[in-house]
Amino acid sequence: MKKSIGILGGTNYLSTILYYQYLNENYQARFGGSHSCPLHIHSIDYHDIKTRYSSPSGWEQIPELLNHEIEILLRSQPSCIIIANNTLHKAFDLLGDKIKLPVPLLHAVTLAKQEALACNYKKILLMGTRFTMEDDYFKVPLASSGIEVMVPNQLERDEIHAIHAELASGKHTNAHIEFFSELSSRYSHLDAFIIACTELPLILNHIKLEVPIIDSMKLQCEKALQIFDYKTAPNP
């Protein structure tokens, strides 16, 4: 059977486009001609999940909702799975043994940790939605591998969250670029920044940063593209 990448998307749909574009551009660059990347997107109505983020009782239901959507994605029989959203990796982790996947899920947090370890980064700044910066789901796996994970201060987090919301609705401004240039200077003594969010790269790609970036989306996509290279297929 032909290999293909499975994407759980729609969460939100603008960031799904970034995954789709990245995978296709890189597949095309590698294979040339009229090649486009073999993949399946199961693009969900995000509303049911997103409205549950803000309460603990909502969070009790999200893992099962995610499980159901992953089951639908698996009908397409992809060779590996990407969740095109960072926060939902918390829900995936909460599923624990309740989910048995027939193919590897290319986990954003695991990939970011592996990258930090491979590059020998000791002190890292984590940027993402307010939830991703304040919750433990991204920090703890890295900290337990000896990586010191810092987050922007309260005021900075508020601003990043506000900018994130604007980017998610398609707005870019020069003020955003200025804010992130200054933020980057304040934390330039660290080894790397993790961008655990699909919207912030829309701004950060326009800035010359003084520290290396770990972009969880790119890591997921690069790992997924390896299925088309028989020598380095991802391990389950």
- Catalog residues that contact a copy of itself under the rule CB under 8 A: 2, 10-13, 16-17, 20-21, 24, 27-28, 31, 33-47, 50-51, 72, 75-77
Tell me whether residue 16 or residue 184 sits nearer to a copy of itself (CB atom).
16
150 beta partners: 125
Q: How far is the CB of 17 from a copy of itself (least distance, A)?
A: 6
Q: How far is the CB of 86 from a copy of itself (least distance, A)?
A: 16
Cα–Cα distance for residue pair 140/136, rounded to 1 Å:
6
Tell me whether residue 46 or residue 213 sits nearer to a copy of itself (CB atom).
46
Cα–Cα distance for residue pair 89/111, rounded to 1 Å:
12
Cα–Cα distance for residue pair 150/56, rounded to 1 Å:
24
Closest CA to 174 of 206, 197, 199, 209: 206
Tell me whether residue 28 or residue 114 sits nearer to a copy of itself (CB atom).
28
Q: How far is the CB of 41 from a copy of itself (least distance, A)?
A: 4
216 CB contacts (<8 Å, ≥6 apart)?
86, 108, 109, 111, 112, 194, 195, 196, 197
Q: How far is the CB of 154 from a copy of itself (least distance, A)?
A: 25
Contacts 24+ apart (CB under 8 A), 21-27: 22/217, 22/218, 22/221, 23/221, 23/224, 23/225, 26/221, 26/222, 26/225, 27/225, 27/228
- For residue 7, give the amino acid letter: I
Tell me whether residue 44 or residue 111 sits nearer to a copy of itself (CB atom).
44
Q: How far is the CB of 63 from a copy of itself (least distance, A)?
A: 18
Tell me whether residue 74 or residue 211 sits nearer to a copy of itself (CB atom).
74
Q: How far is the CB of 91 from a copy of itself (least distance, A)?
A: 15
Tell me whether residue 43 or residue 198 sits nearer to a copy of itself (CB atom).
43
